[in-house]
Amino acid sequence: MAKYIALTFDDGPNTVTTPMVLDVLEKHSAVGTFFLEGNNINEESAKVVKRAVEMGCEIENHSRTHTAFPQLTAEEMTAEIDFTTEKIIDITGRAPKFFRPPYIALNDLMYSTIPLTFICGKGCTDWEDSVSAEQRFDTTMAQAQHGDVILLHDMEGNINTVKALDRLIPALREEGYELVTVEELFEKCGAVPKSGVIYTNVLSDGK
Catalytic residues: 10, 153
Cβ neighbours around 90 below 10 Å, total: 11
Supply φ then ψ for residue 118, to 5 degrees: -85, 135
DSSP 116: S
Q: How many alpha carbons lie under 13 Å from residue 205 in its C-beta half-sphere? A: 22
Bridge pairing between strands 33-36 and 3-12? parallel
CA distance linking residue 205 with residue 207, whole number of Å: 6
What percent helix, strand, coil does the chain show, rounded to 5? 45, 20, 40
Is residue 96 within 8 Å of residue 60, measured between CB atoms?
A: yes
14 SS3 class: coil
For the chain, the farthest-separated pair of C-alpha atoms sits apart, in whole angstroms, at 46
